[in-house]
Structure 1
Amino acid sequence: MPPQQGSPTVRRLRLGQELRLLRERRNLTGAKAAAELGWSPSKVSRVEAAKTMPSVDDIKALAKLYKLDEGKVDELVGLLRDAEQRGWWEDYEDALPQEYTRFLGLEAEATYQRNWEPQLVPGLFQTEEYAREVILATRGIARITHSGVRSRVEARLDRQRRVLHRPDPGQMSVVLDESALMRRFGEPSVMRAQMEHLLEVSHLAHVSVRVLPLESLHPINTGAFIHLKFTGFDDVVYLEQLYTAHFVEDLERVAGYETAFDHIRSKALDEDESRVLVQSKAMSWRR
């Protein structure tokens, strides 16, 4: 089955969330529901956490226990069918870390993305040559094969087409540290082309790009993070490190990242001033 445009990752999470809410409305614990159905308690928790996909028979058994009407059952089965579809990112599963593919699945349905990047140009805005140099820079440490480098570059470009340039793109607000515009990946010509591309992207109606200048007092000591917002679903923050990546889903901590981003953005140059700075960096790479 070909990959779809939406996000089965989000639909799996929504299905699990809906099943949990339906159980709680019947005042049933996970253990009690499992006992009534003859399931293990872990199966109920894994289904609700979207770690295990239920079958249609599972949905119907839950519906009977929760005393759902036929319309609600059809809605849940439809959500299950959508969740079973393939996402475009699954074509790259062999080359990408598992947590990153989950991030791509969430990003595909995010309505708003807020990204603080202190080290390099974000992947959504990278040129093919810059992306290749960034991946090559960590190839030895991360033990990425030649074919793996190629697949990761292809995945990054595919991500840009499907997220940045989709017909109904979500809003994006990005703040880069000025040092990200100065740190060289590849030849100066690669950097110059990347700065020029960043300028082009900054003019997209749904994109805001701001730069935190080096002369500014550093507003907060934190690494890169991406804050995703959804319609009808809780916000998520994605953090990526050298060998691992993880998600922040606790609402209080997510709110902390939201406050942090707002603070960083308040100290950055505005969009027009940022474009002037990016243009000056492009000129400086003409050597």
Structure 2
Amino acid sequence: MHSGGEHVAARPRPTARRIELGHELRELRQQAGITLEDAVKGLSFSETKLQRVETGFQDLRNAGDLRKLLTRYGVDDEDETERLVELQRTASRQDWWTPYTVATMSPSMPRFLGVESAAQAIRAYHPTCVLGLLQTERYAKAQHEIAKPIEESTTEFIQKSVALRMKRKDRVVTSDDPVKLWAILYEPALRYVAGDVDIMREQYEEITRIAKLDHVTVQILPQSVRGYLSLSDFTLLDLGDKLPMTVQLDTGAGMSLTDKSREVGRFTRMFEALSRSALPSEATPEFLQQLTREITS
């Protein structure tokens, strides 16, 4: 692997552990043939809470409640029980991004950050801007400043959002446990000047630098494409063998996440079609050099 700078330790991932614990509890309950309603009978929490626990939206803070559920599901192996209790303890800790949160953050953003942190591989497509995990700090700030009058965002929100984006990017460029990234960028998104020419030149250089990393693939979809084209961005998050793959979509009201197999299959086919339409990754450095020449001429 090419060096991307100083290595940083892997971050704790409580949300990822919540998702893992919830997935395991749902499987155990279904294997036992117990409904959500029957599972919570006589316990101190509701059917709705258990459903949120199973989907990773909420943690189960009380180890006693977890033990009661496991007994109800027929789990009598003490080692297995202790493993799940330890998973529950980890899931209850504070997430690494908490210092970057603000009141105006999208309600679905924390869950996305947790899923992204758990991902072993990410495939992402963006038709309107440089993918966040590839952005420079100046490009990210310029994007927020352009949108500030429309979004009525505060200076604090912009500062924390940019800092958060750079922290997310760390896992691609400086982590001891880097996530595999395959990004497809649409040519018009690269031609759109966010800020000024100097910011864009720096951004092209940054994409070129990151694309050289062994675990990163960057393709460019040319504007003259004759094949499949999507006008919406999306991200496929591969969480490994134990958890279902998840798709993240941006909407006008924020973002959504789904692990429904039908949707995952559809967006997987979309990404594969876009990849076939895009230029090979080997062509990315020269393409970006040509863009640099064009904007500076």
Q: TM-score range by the shorter chain?
A: over 0.9
User: What are the equivalent positions in structure 2 for 1:194-209 lying under 5 Å apart?
Assistant: 194-209=203-218
Equivalent residue for 1:286? 296
Amino acid at match of 2:74: K
Q: CA deviation at 1:17?
A: 1.4
Q: Does 1:101 align with 2:107?
A: no
Q: Does 1:70 align with 2:78?
A: yes
- Gap change, CA 1:4 and 1:193, over 3 Å in 2: closer
* In structure 2, distance between residues paired with 1:235 and 1:166: 22
Equivalent residue for 2:161? 152
State the SS of the aligned residue for 1:108. helix
Equivalent residue for 1:28? 34
- Gap change, CA 1:63 and 1:252, over 3 Å in 2: same
Q: Does 1:56 align with 2:63?
A: yes
2:202 to 185, 189, 193: 193
Equivalent residue for 2:98? 90
Q: CA deviation at 1:36?
A: 5.0
Equivalent pairs, count: 285
- Gap change, CA 1:39 and 1:132, over 3 Å in 2: closer
- Gap change, CA 1:16 and 1:273, over 3 Å in 2: same
Equivalent residue for 2:23? 17
Q: CA deviation at 1:242?
A: 4.0
* In structure 2, distance between residues paired with 1:46 and 1:193: 43
State the SS of the aligned residue for 1:98. coil
Equivalent residue for 1:211? 220
Q: CA deviation at 1:39?
A: 4.7
State the SS of the aligned residue for 1:51. coil
* In structure 2, distance between residues paired with 1:47 and 1:233: 15
* In structure 1, distance between residues paired with 2:232 and 2:141: 22
Equivalent residue for 1:116? 125
Q: CA deviation at 1:133?
A: 0.6
User: What are the equivalent positions in structure 2 for 1:258-269 lying under 5 Å apart?
Assistant: 258-269=268-279
Detail structure 1 runs of 4+ shifted over 4 Å in the superposition: none
Q: CA deviation at 1:249?
A: 2.0
1:244 to 243, 254, 266: 254
What is the alpha-carbon root mean square deviation over aligned residues?
1.8
* In structure 2, distance between residues paired with 1:48 and 1:272: 42
Equivalent residue for 1:277? 287
* In structure 1, distance between residues paired with 2:40 and 2:288: 58
* In structure 1, distance between residues paired with 2:10 and 2:283: 39
TM-score (norm 1): 0.93
Q: Does 1:143 align with 2:149?
A: no
Equivalent residue for 2:6? none
State the SS of the aligned residue for 1:240. strand
Q: Which runs of 5+ in 2 are unaligned?
A: 1-8
Asked if structure 2 preserves the Cα contact closer than 8 Å seen for 1:4 and 1:88, the reply is no
Asked if structure 1 preserves the Cα contact closer than 8 Å seen for 2:210 and 2:216, the reply is yes
Q: Report which stretch shifted further, 215-224 or 265-274.
A: 215-224
* In structure 1, distance between residues paired with 2:53 and 2:126: 34
Amino acid at match of 1:216: V
